[in-house]
Structure 1
């Protein structure tokens, strides 16, 4: 049985490793990671322009600050798809050891080729609705497709060759000319074909057929449960669960948060409970497994020298959601004592937080994407303020209570071993 168990674990780890190392999935996750500064700048600008504090809105409108705050918001989160398509194409081409900048530039051109123009005062304008969250899935698809076509054309050697005397920068630009022309023609044909359908353009087709259903599915309670279980079951057997699900985490949950920010910018109430900000702020407390509660127990209540020292060493990092010290120091991986709290602490906290927001007891987090490593307190400040700060501390308290009986069993065992070794 031991050998069979090890073989199963090895196969799971192998599949998970291949998934997390897949070039296309890495391009999506790392491309979206690359635009985090854009998202954070836009989120802060939106919040500054729309904070619902008595007298604040009247004040910033009277001196023109509201309009000023919305300028960076409009060109960051309002045009997120433009940055996304470039960086996803850039990343994928780089993984094939090709010119990422060239691929990214062509992808940006093709994305705009697929974006319909509108008439305004006898001028052609690009509707911004397709440049933000609504165009994100098209940006992902175009980024991957263009970059892969770019790699195929470059590998075919069907390029314009210039003499060796030509400077390398100019030569590289001409290398991108043939793939740029060919790929742009392909996407122009695609655009024309979609104009003949009832959808009229690719954006409406992808949003109706793919993006809207996935966001509706991904924004529900059961998608939250599945995501938590997958992440933590993988972690428990020694696989970095978050790395495996990052493409889904970013491509589905990030747009849900952006939709909330768009609603706030329009003076409406956000409706999406599940998004990356929700997970980072209320579930990933101390990292995978909501282990901040375990760190607190070890640092302040452990009787064994081993776990007291481990808790004190791990606590500062855990405040920033870095829990490798406690994950491998306890250890939590494949530790039967830790299976139940490690899996069920984030699940219980996530469930209670979800339904507390759904019932209106606490406000829905605004959806600002927060990078992994955001310290406690800062997250809820950005997500909505005082009430959510209090709720985060309640969540930490839940983590402490869930881990307590299992921690006591481990601590007693370690204390007994320490006493035996000293006698």
Structure 2
């Protein structure tokens, strides 16, 4: 076990720390998080529009007219359909903060560059027509949402890197000292802003001469499809789950680090499900943000909610019992730092094994249950990650009991995996409290085998 600890401390942890501190990954993570409050608000209206109550639809139609659903879901479009636009601002803003340059100007320039890269055209089917026509001068809401997320990310990083480079080289227009700071910052942003907008404009003109037609199509083909296949596959999701929990076992926030890379993929998949769910169609994707946050990470990363119950009801040592009592409150809302660092799980070779193994097993179980149709797929509703178990599964699947049942199954599986490892750890703690070795404790039958 000391050998295992040495590997974690000397090999895994330094490499993971470097990844965690990478400014571009941090900016991606923090910028995308900026969209989450809006998406959750939109999801509330989505839930209200599709409550699984018999007679609900007829009642609402009688009260508010046949167009009630369309009007109720106005906020859904106003929040989900600007996901990429908000991310373009948020990522640039956070990255500019890392470089200690004016973040507000960087965010504004990023949004302008993103809009410039987007063709103002949408397909439209006139009444009575059999073929669609292209209407110009209209911002396509689809590309402002999840479909434009990868372009927004790349442009935000590119524009901010150019912005900070020009400013750090002092190629700017500086105003006299008496000029208000807000005006001075605006003039400082003139030259880098002009260069960025010109660059994106030239790129757009060049791409329009190719078969791709737009930057969105290039990014979708070269980056979006391969990453989407990775994020939507069982193997890719198992790798993501393994990395999340391996990083956590060294004390680093694995969900945040891996999420910085995978979140755009899972958010796009979630929004595809949301669109299908609203249209009354079968949702296409299994692996979304809610797949992990609701069904895999019950109690927090590592599915430690079952471990908390084990501590409360089956622990022999007072230390574990007390920790279980303290951790049950946060655990209900999927917060498990008291367990991760208080037990601890971090750098603990006994508990790291079930901590990594449990999510891998529940990923496979959840995937098979949804793939075979036994359990409904996530409906694209952005249920907050702090939603308590059972309720979370019910809401995430669009009001399906199967979602809640699956959470119960995963809880039972997590309990079965954690229990034998916890028993070993609990014996050690009990022996320490008695002032004996764990071997002596077993010999004296102080703890049942």
Whether these two folds match at TM > 0.5 is yes
Superposition deviation, residue 163 in structure 1: 2.2
Superposition deviation, residue 365 in structure 1: 1.5
Q: Superposed, which structure 2 residues align to 1:58-207 within 5 Å?
A: 58-61=58-61, 63=64, 64-118=67-121, 124-207=137-220
Unaligned runs of 5+ in 2: 125-133
Q: 2:323 aligns with which of 310, 326, 335?
A: 310
1:389 matched to which residue of 2? 404
1:357 matched to which residue of 2? 370
Residues in 2 aligned to 1:185 and 1:229: alpha-carbon distance in whole angstroms: 43
- Of 269-278 and 158-167, more deviation after overlay is shown by 158-167
Q: 1:398 aligns with which of 392, 409, 413?
A: 413
- The structure whose residues are more often helix, as a share, is 1
Over 3 Å counting, the alpha-carbon distance change for 1:328 and 1:166 in structure 2 is closer
Alignment RMSD (CA, Å): 2.4
Superposition deviation, residue 83 in structure 1: 0.7
Residues in 1 aligned to 2:344 and 2:136: alpha-carbon distance in whole angstroms: 64
- Of 324-333 and 359-368, more deviation after overlay is shown by 324-333
Residues in 2 aligned to 1:248 and 1:168: alpha-carbon distance in whole angstroms: 36
1:418 matched to which residue of 2? 433
Superposition deviation, residue 60 in structure 1: 3.7
Number of aligned positions between the proteins? 423
Residues in 2 aligned to 1:387 and 1:377: alpha-carbon distance in whole angstroms: 10
Superposition deviation, residue 242 in structure 1: 2.0
Residues in 2 aligned to 1:61 and 1:189: alpha-carbon distance in whole angstroms: 51
- Contact 1:276 1:370 survives alignment (8 Å): no
- Of 19-28 and 285-294, more deviation after overlay is shown by 285-294
Over 3 Å counting, the alpha-carbon distance change for 1:248 and 1:61 in structure 2 is farther
Over 3 Å counting, the alpha-carbon distance change for 1:408 and 1:67 in structure 2 is same
Output the TM-score relative to the length of structure 2. 0.88
* 1:164-221 superposed Cα distances (whole Å, 9 cap, x missing partner): 2222221111222222222111111111111001011111111122212211221111
Superposition deviation, residue 250 in structure 1: 1.2
Over 3 Å counting, the alpha-carbon distance change for 1:165 and 1:358 in structure 2 is same
- Of 316-325 and 376-385, more deviation after overlay is shown by 376-385
- Contact 1:321 1:374 survives alignment (8 Å): yes
- Contact 1:79 1:128 survives alignment (8 Å): yes
Q: 1:223 aligns with which of 226, 231, 236?
A: 236
- Contact 1:256 1:274 survives alignment (8 Å): yes
Superposition deviation, residue 382 in structure 1: 2.5
2:13 matched to which residue of 1? 13
* 2:331 is aligned with 1:345: no
Residues in 1 aligned to 2:303 and 2:110: alpha-carbon distance in whole angstroms: 39
Over 3 Å counting, the alpha-carbon distance change for 1:123 and 1:4 in structure 2 is closer
- Contact 2:8 2:250 survives alignment (8 Å): no
2:38 matched to which residue of 1? 38
1:271 matched to which residue of 2? 284
Superposition deviation, residue 91 in structure 1: 0.7
